[in-house]
Structure 1
């Protein structure tokens, strides 16, 4: 049974989106923007953003920042780099933007995470630790309780 042209087009777009996602996963620490990602798969930036969000539930930029924050969390848990060093190591160029996005996804600022999480995963297998420490997307991190005492 031959595939319809629309199905073939859809499959081709999905393959392109997967290449974009794989590139983000691989090159998260490099300067990436939606226009460059789109050029790499011969799409317009707008079309890429719409299709990526439809396929993966978030924009390419949001996916990139999530990858960067995941890596930052691992580096901060190690404890041998400052927050500023981690910020630049994962590809962020603004400490303020990095700290804001980190707090949105993780629920605490990177300095607090570094202080509190350094020993949090000791003795836990890496495959479990990665799942437990994965950042929450789309501002779903619970807001810290105010200290009223």
Structure 2
């Protein structure tokens, strides 16, 4: 692959990173890269090891995880905010990439945010040795 093709592919990848919430398809991305759709798909896979669709969905799921951790949007709102048009496809891809459904991910992050980190709990409940205890004031 020549350097000019890599520059064009990078331009398309940057467009996916920036405009992930927009309706992007291979033809639109190929136009950004100044390539035919077939050549773009083959070149993208050769350069980055995954198809343009897989790369775009991975970026969308990364953004969806951040929005779900924020907690102010429903799963459906997150789905549409990251550019997916089908809640079923979004949930399937999310589960495939993250290992759990979006609603479960959201519940777990809500619970994790409510609990202090275990290192803080251990430090706060750590027993105090006699020599570490503050000296009692004389009467």
Report TM bin, short chain.
0.7 to 0.9
Question: Normalized against structure 1, the TM-score is what?
Answer: 0.73
Q: Cα RMSD (Å) of the superposition? A: 1.8
Which residue of 42, 49, 65 corresponds with 1:57?
Answer: 49
Structure 2 stretches lacking a partner, 5+ long: 118-139
Unaligned runs of 5+ in 1: 1-8, 125-149
Secondary structure of the corresponding residue to residue 118 of structure 1: helix
1:32 is aligned, of 24, 30, 51, to: 24
Alignment of 1:38-77 (within 5 A): 38-77=30-69
Given candidates 6, 14, 20, the residue that maps to 2:12 is 20
Partner SS, residue 2 of structure 2: helix
Q: How many Å apart are 1:119 and its aligned residue?
A: 5.1
- Matched residue, 1:146: none
The answer to whether the Cα contact below 8 Å between 1:77 and 1:119 also exists between their aligned partners in 2 is no
Residue aligning to 2:100: 108
1:60-139 aligned within 5 A: 60-118=52-110, 120=112
In the TM superposition, residue 120 of structure 1 has moved relative to its aligned partner by: 3.9
List per-residue Cα deviations over 1:22-63 (Å, max 9, x = no partner).
000000000000011101222111111111111111011110
- Under a length normalisation based on structure 2, what TM-score does the superposition of the two structures give? 0.78
Aligned pair count reads: 116
In terms of fraction of residues, the more helix-rich structure is 2
